[in-house]
Amino acid sequence: MSDNVPDIKYLFEPRAVAVIGASHDKNKLGYHVTDNIVSGGYTGRVYPINPRGGEICGRRVYKTIEDVEDEIDLVSIVVPAKFVFEAVKSCAQKGVKFASIITSGFAEVGNVEEERKIVACARAHGMRIQGPNIFGIYSCVSSLNATFSASCPEPGSVAIITQSGALGLGMIGKTAIEHLGLSAIVSVGNKSDLDEADLLEYLVPQEQTRVIFMYIEGVQDGEKLIKALSAATRVKPVIVLKSGRSARGAIAAASHTGSLAGSDEVFDDIMRQCGVLRAESVNEGFDWCKFIATSPPPPGDNTVIITNGGGIGVIATDASEKYGITLYDDAATLKETFAPVTPDFGSTKNPIDITGQAGRTEYTLALDAALNHKDMHAVMALYCETAVFDSENLFRMIIENSQKYREGGKPLVFSVFGGRKSRDCINLCRDQNIPVFGDVYEAVSCMGALFRYYHYRNASPDQAVMADIDAEALERIAAHAIEQNRFFLLAHEAQTIMKLAGIEIPKSSIARNLDEAVRCSEDIGYPVVMKVVSKDIVHKSDAGGVALDLENRNEVIDAYQAIMQNCRAYNPGALIEGVEIAEMVKPGTELIVGARRDATFGPIVMVGLGGIYVEVMKDVTFRYFPSGRTEIMNMIKDIRSYPLLLGVRGEEKKDIDGVAEVIIKLGSIIQKCTRISDIEINPLRVYEGRGVKAVDVRILLSKFDRSNKHE
């Protein structure tokens, strides 16, 4: 690849643009891309390219890109797929900085090699590729609309990155009618070269962009995206909508852009770790964009609900709990503050019910009272339509108070519920770029998203931790297994890994025959556990290769004979090396902890409720690694069964710090040992006070040496 990589700025702010495939035919995309560039007020120079020559949209048409004497920063390519490579080659040889390939028909339909060939040609000359399979790019700063959108984007402060071209075009139209102004909207399509992380390099420091919204179907370089998002969210909010949650959705995503959706649970937890707000729908994402882009940071968590009806206030209270909003509950202060503006038959408890007779004056007085109180940090104002208000008065009240709250540095969100007057008011506010919502849950969801983002941003960055692991010793154990064409470790090998990492395990020995099994059991002390040792039997329980709670010599003999018989019946060709004898550890809270080298995000760690119900309960959380100790503790707190670790029914608190240490050690092993791909401890017994013990350990190996990513 050429060392002369162009500045991403020239994709968004090109000084000169060419369109290869510019068309005289108004039914062709090449015409509409050219027309949108010219009619959109682009401030740079425009060069339509078409072998027929002539004139398009009042601009001279050049027959080839070579005929243009000017230096070109961006070329939109809108020709059939079979002609794209030659077009890219011509651009690259001319020194074009960016090629925006609108044409589809590449990796998304299985034409992977042609796409790779195009990227290789571009990179050899220092040119970057946007797409293919995209709608183009709009950039407010340069008034560039190099898309085939039917709508003209409205300038504003929200940037959109979308993997889907068609959805992106729909977003342009939707944002226009919603008056959601855009600083940019960019399609990444197949992400053959440029991806979301590359585009964030420009959008994060750009002053005009206040909020970034991303639609993602699949992630190709998760570690790169993590790094970009973690940096971005320290500067401005990033909202992500990701499809492919379901199995069918993941298949659809793969057929759409050639991207693998990956595990949605892993994606969800890692996005939260990066400070990203994950939306459930386009509408929810747009609602958050509108509200967050126009709201000041909350000075604290205390939120007040002001309403003219009890029912809608109760709904908002439920929604507040769902979205993690703290409702201010100092009854004496609330009464002192709101009694002067609340009728006797109203309520000064939060939600504040100023009753159905409240008009513009009453709402303003109540809102002023909250704005002027130092311990009230945010307000959700709810209105159910009555005859007291008309659309114009309601609109004026909302506009005036929204302005006061912005100037006062406190977030304020309105929900207006009712008929025609309410709808008219919402539309009037939208025209003034004031987000007002027809549903209470929409309004509360927006306030919750705002709080979640600023909680993340205001928290001190967590310093990543790494355990001191003798990676060379661990690699030698893995190498020995791989030499035997084994890509998993036997029980005693896995236990050696645990010992080297400083993770406590039960006392155990390997017995090669029945006599050794009896002797090992007596040395360790009853009761004991017996497990088959065989490279050909990975799932020991399924093979009948496990016996628990053996209390004496006779039970050991019976168990040994039963295990041998079961395993030979399960896999007659299995090479059985013997059995593992281990102490029967005392009961404790059972967790599953693990680490693996994820195909999308690289090293990740996990923790959850362990034992035999792991697959049923699915109570697990994930983080990328390395992570900070605080993040690891938060990860443990995120599991639904966390209260078990705090102690129930008179139990003492369990060794949560010990669990965190094990997670850090497992993550460090995956990070440092290139041949170890998966580690799972299930169960990890966690005891009251101090103490954790890895009862059963499974370690898988990689067929490739991950120290060489290109292998």
End of a domain among 564, 584, 604? 584
* Among 678, 696, 694, residue whose Cα is nearest residue 686: 694
Residue 544 vs residues 512, 547, 564, 578: alpha-carbon distances, Å: 18, 8, 9, 14
pLDDT value of position 434: 94
For residues 352 and 439, membership in a common domain is answered with: yes
Q: Which two tokens stand for residue 493?
A: 């090998």
| 439, 489: one domain | no
Cis bond leading into 298, ω under 30°? no
516 in Cβ contact with 500 (< 8 Å): no
Sign of CA dihedral 199, 204, 206, 211: positive
Domain that holds residue 579: 507-584
Return the pLDDT at 262. 54
How far is the CA of 466 from the CAs of 122, 228, 286, 637, 660, in angstroms?
Answer: 39, 21, 39, 20, 12
Same domain (yes/no): 152, 256: yes
251 with 395, same domain? no
Residue 59, Cβ density class (10 Å: 0-12 exposed, 13-18 middle, ≥19 buried)? middle
Per-residue DSSP letters for 344-360? TTSB-SSSEE--TT--H
Residues 6+ apart with CB under 8 A from 369: 337, 338, 340, 341
Residue 488 DSSP class: B
Say if 4 falls within a structural domain: no
Place of tokens 């390939």: 101
Domain total in the chain: 4
Environment class of 633 (CB within 10 Å of its CB; exposed 0-12, middle 13-18, buried 19+): middle
Query: Residues 300, 190: one domain?
Result: no
CATH number at residue 515: 3.30.1490.20
Give me the amino acid identity at 628.
G
For the domain that residue 495 is a member of, what is the CATH number?
A: 3.30.470.20
Q: Name the residue type at position 342.
A: T
**What is the end-to-end Cα distance of the chain in Å, rounded?**
18
**Whether residue 150 sits in one domain with residue 109:** yes
Domain boundary among 584, 614, 641: 584
Encode 573-607: b = buried (16+ Cβ within 10 Å), e = exposed.
ebebbbbbbbbbbeebbbbbbbbbbbebbbbbbbb
Domain end (from 555, 584, 613): 584
pLDDT at 256: 43
Closest to 48 (Cα-Cα) out of 35, 39, 61: 61
- Judgement on whether residues 466 and 450 belong to the same structural domain of the protein: no
> pLDDT at position 390, please?
84
In this structure, the answer to whether residues 30 and 95 fall within a common structural domain is yes
Same domain, 562 and 644: no
Of the candidates 71, 270, 242, which has an alpha carbon nearest to the alpha carbon of residue 162?
242
Would 1 be classed as within a structural domain? no
Q: Is residue 3 part of a domain?
A: no
Cα–Cα distance measured from residue 368 to residue 364, given in angstroms and rounded to the nearest whole number = 6
Q: With a cut of 50, which residues of the chain have pLDDT below it?
A: 1-2, 255-261, 709-711
The reported pLDDT for the residue numbered 410 is: 98
Distances (CA, A) of 179 to 174, 286, 415, 503: 8, 11, 18, 57
| Nearest Cα to Cα of residue 475 among 671, 663, 661 | 671
Q: Is 631 contained in some domain?
A: yes
In the 3-class helix/strand/coil scheme, how is 313-346 assigned residue by residue?
HHHHHHHHHHCCCCECCCHHHHHHHHHHHCCCCC
Angle separating helix axes 491-501 and 656-672, nearest 10 degrees = 110
**Residues counted in the chain:** 711
Query: What is the spatial distance between Cα 579 and Cα 535, in angstroms, rounded to a whole number?
Result: 12
Is 431 a member of any domain?
yes
Query: Closest by alpha carbon to 129, among 72, 204, 194?
Result: 194
pLDDT of residue 711: 40
Q: How far is Cα 236 from Cα 242, in angstroms, rounded to an integer?
A: 19
Claim to verify: residue 651 and residue 681 sit in the same structural domain: yes
Quick one: pLDDT at residue 355? 96
Residue 20: its pLDDT value, please? 99
Q: How far are the Cα atoms of 103, 182, 320, 639 from residue 139, in angstroms, in the given order? A: 20, 8, 37, 42
Same domain? 423 vs 302: yes
Same domain, 104 and 187: yes
Nearest of 183, 178, 173 to residue 152 by alpha carbon: 173
Q: Is residue 98 domain-resident? A: yes
Torsion of CA 213, 215, 220, 224, to 10 degrees: 10
Main-chain phi, psi angles of 688, to 5 degrees: -65, 145
- Any idea what the CATH number is for the domain that residue 340 is in? 3.40.50.261
Q: What sign does the dihedral 501-503-504-506 (CA atoms) show?
A: negative
Could you give the 3-state DSSP secondary structure of residue 694?
Answer: strand
